[in-house]
A and B are shown apart, each in its own frame.
Chain A
């Protein structure tokens, strides 16, 4: 339980900063949340250092192997410590960094959201769960990079980061699914123990590439490195936290996590090591030329991530130890350096190295701290960066799979180290020295205490770890490496002095070379200009995305050029091709063995009538009203057919839907020209006749093929289970409200949304009513004939009673909420037809929106009620009670759900029809708005 709380506390607590209004309270709230999490984490320390791995697991969706499971491995513990420890320092730092105009509550909310999701990544036991947290970090990173929403570069940077890391995450999810498929479980414990099984599987290569794509994009490895420098548009606390210390480490964390199962193969080496090497050298080179302090640090971060990747790619146990140690060290010194660059930016007004100079005089403490950070970054002895870099250099000298070309790795490593020393010197030289301070917007000064304190703590740690590594970092690194390597754990000691060896010589070369490169940097700058012109990752990225968008647009234009005819034709052609293709090669006979039922003359003649009317609908389609009448006949005969073949339920539904459709079409007809002209070419009409014939005939033939062979369907199950499982004898209704209640809930939601959408589309829509009928005769002046009005009014209670009857017995006999809703809606709309909106609206004084909303609420709450009794969503229950006079009566919870269906149907149908009716009548529109605003509006006197 406690383990799960560590990531969940910051996630849930991300709303807490919103509750306060003062800036300090925001920070304090965020700090408390993170602090509690840290304490919970540290409480696990004894177990972790003792080599145990606490796991807590709950089932979530067992069907897909998703468990809500967390674990604390030694490695996870180390990274979680970094996340929470540095996170706390960042919270303090951001309190002073952000200006009064920035929405501080939102910032801390995002920060906590990120913190929780990052903790989720490092502590998840289940891969799918891990993936969800992984995506959450991409999203919170997007929100944080784009925190200053008014800046275009922030928005672009945020979008680019999201696309790159999101795309990588997508690949990784695919990789995880393959991995889960190979192993048969998504639990890390199982996966990490199945190295042979995974590497022996024929899908190993695909899995590896997909997972590596995710890791490389997240950790900004070549060729995806370019998003990280552009993410520097984020506020500096974010850069320090997400884009140097933690989130970008998620990629290398994933590499290290998967190390026991995926590494050790040649493929792993050839994929991971070269990428790491190229990133290491290329980014170190690029960092040399960045004038922006944060840009320099960003490329340096990429380079160090490349270093860790290269170490993991080398695959030896000691390299893995070095990777873990460097991950730890880098997080500390780079987060500190980012904070210091933020301080310089904050207090000097710029972070452009061309404008900064001579700050030593004004901010000596900051300068000293920066020097310490740069020393760690460059790998100067006595600082922590030196130790891990030394271990790295030693590992590059080990024999590896490059064979004769193995020298390329130490060469690249030395080169990158030279650049690292050079850009570190450059940073210090150009910011703090290089002549007097000029060209600055404000008078530089030391920052406030709280802003500098986090950097001071981090730099002190860098120095202390650098001098006493075995005491301060030893146990943690040991536990972390142990959890990755298991039995292969090598003997090692962290110490400052390893004696004279080749690695020390390489360090010395790097320091001397760095000084030399720094001295002669002018020549390098000149040669870099042409290079940067052709190697801008952002430009390439934008060209590619533009191209993608353009081709998507062109494809869309080709397929769907706003012509419904073209769209339908393409759709139907593909259906015909896909549907008929299996039959081209099939040997089986089309018709099955079942004997056909004998046909009686009544059915036969009715069938002929049906066909004739269907043809007539098509033939008369240019005269719309005639076509609707023919369609009405088709509907009638279809419902008769349903009854004939013992589906009275369908017949009832069919006839109700038919009526409401006819009313709707009649209303829509009013807005359309009465006759539609022929404007398709002859060829086009022939094509459409052919397509329609093929598609319709094909569907009929398929139905024939299915019906003529014996088959087992799911209906038998429903028929058998209807009474014992759902308590109703009307199988259709039991399926709708019980067995498939969840589908029905979705359907009525769609119905409600459609109703609202139609309402919104028709809002403020007015149309000129035609003054005469098709033959040019004026309309009759009797708007509401008295006979009609007086017949329909007594009909309303009768129809409502009938509808209530159909509704109540729906569970056992044909009927139910859907049919009852249609009958009610039709009966109500009849009043509108007979007496007009002006008369009816104030008398049917309820808001259809609200009826619809209540329907949805009732249906949803019924479903949720089963949770109260610890049953799955929408489990229904029923019982029989004996009422006096009435006798035995069934009470099913499904009937309440059915009531929701009923209300939604009535509400949405009325909403659409009344709105449609009001379109061309201004006085009716006034009434309908008035009735909504004044519920007790006095009904008008009879006006006819």
Chain B
């Protein structure tokens, strides 16, 4: 049962990634693309957690999800700051 659910979730997530990719390439504005990248990070977190549930032996995937959460946030902030001010550390 869980296996089927995970498989379906995986497929949904991959479709989400493809949609993000579409937005990333299409744009049209930079904030669109940044948002697309940020959503890809979130999507990746979901993928990691799914992997974690799938490979039950280790908890590493959950921690990797945590790291992406922290680091993805920081890079999105940096990109947004660039859009706002041009200079990210001022």
Contact = CB atoms under 8 A, between A and B. Distances in A.
Interface residues of B, number: 45
Given A625-B30, A626-B33, A667 B11 contact: no
B77 A792 contact: yes
Interface in B43-62: 44, 47-48, 51, 58, 60-61
Contact of A656 (B41, B61, B71): B71
B17 to A, nearest CB: 6
Contact of A769 (B37, B51, B63, B87): B87
Nearest to A642: B64
A754 to B, nearest CB: 19
A648 B61 contact: yes
Contact of B64 (A651, A773, A779): A651
B2 interface: no
A609 B21 contact: yes
A826 B89 CA distance: 12
A780 B85 contact: yes
Given A663-B74, A823-B67, A648 B60 contact: yes
Given A626-B33, A629-B24, A643 B71 contact: no
Contacts of A802: 66-67, 70
User: SS class of chain A's interface: helix, strand, loop or mixed?
Assistant: helix
Contact of B86 (A602, A609, A770, A792): A770
Contact of A606 (B17, B60, B86): B17
Nearest to A913: B89
A782 B47 CA distance: 36
Interface string A584-620: 0000000000000000011001100100110010000
Contacts of A632: 37, 75, 79
A73 B3 CA distance: 83
Q: Which of B21, B66, B86 has the most chain A CB within a 10 Å cutoff?
A: B86
A826 B30 contact: no
Interface stretch (A1-9, A338-346, A915-923, A932-940): A915-923
Nearest to B84: A780
A724 B52 CA distance: 28
Interface string A741-779: 000000000000000000000000000011001000001
A57 interface: no
Contacts of A780: 84-85
Nearest to B87: A670
Contact of B89 (A662, A782, A799, A832): A832
B21 A612 contact: yes
A782 B89 CA distance: 14
Interface stretch (A377-385, A683-691, A833-841, A880-888): A833-841
A648 B44 CA distance: 14
Contacts of A612: 21, 25
A827 B70 contact: yes
Contacts of A836: 89-90
A833 B71 contact: no
A652 interface: yes
Given A648-B64, A662-B78, A833-B78, A924 B30 contact: no
A783 interface: yes
B51 A636 contact: no
A666 interface: yes
A516 interface: no
Contacts of A601: 11, 14
A833 B87 CA distance: 9
Nearest to B34: A629
Contacts of A613: 21, 24
Nearest to A603: B14
Contact of A609 (B10, B17, B58, B88): B17
B78 to A, nearest CB: 5
Interface string A617-637: 000000001101110110010
Interface in A68-85: none
B61 A643 contact: yes
Interface in A640-698: 640, 643-644, 648, 651-652, 655-656, 658-659, 662-663, 666-667, 669-670
B77 A830 contact: yes
Contact of B75 (A658, A670, A806, A834): A658
A612 B21 CA distance: 9
A827 to B, nearest CB: 7
A376 interface: no
Given A605-B18, A799-B70, A914 B89 contact: yes
A651 B68 CA distance: 10
A291 interface: no
Contact of B74 (A605, A648, A830): A830
Contacts of A616: 24-25
Given A629-B34, A670-B87, A605 B64 contact: no
16 contacts: A602-B14, A605-B18, A629-B24, A632-B75, A640-B48, A643-B51, A648-B64, A652-B67, A659-B72, A670-B88, A773-B86, A795-B70, A913-B89, A914-B89, A917-B88, A924-B90
Interface of A: 601-602, 605-606, 609, 612-613, 616, 625-626, 628-630, 632-633, 636, 639-640, 643-644, 648, 651-652, 655-656, 658-659, 662-663, 666-667, 669-670, 769-770, 773, 779-780, 782-783, 785, 788, 792, 795, 799, 802, 806, 813-814, 819, 823, 826-827, 829-830, 832-834, 836-837, 913-914, 916-918, 920-921, 924
Given A612-B25, A636-B72, A662-B75, 15 more contacts: A612-B21, A613-B21, A625-B82, A648-B58, A662-B78, A663-B74, A666-B78, A666-B79, A773-B83, A802-B66, A833-B78, A837-B89, A837-B90, A913-B89, A921-B87
Interface of B: 10-11, 14, 17-18, 21, 24-25, 30, 33-34, 37, 40-41, 44, 47-48, 51, 58, 60-61, 63-64, 66-68, 70-75, 77-79, 81-90
Q: Name the 4 nearest CB pairs between A and B, nearest first.
A: A917-B89, A659-B71, A648-B60, A662-B75
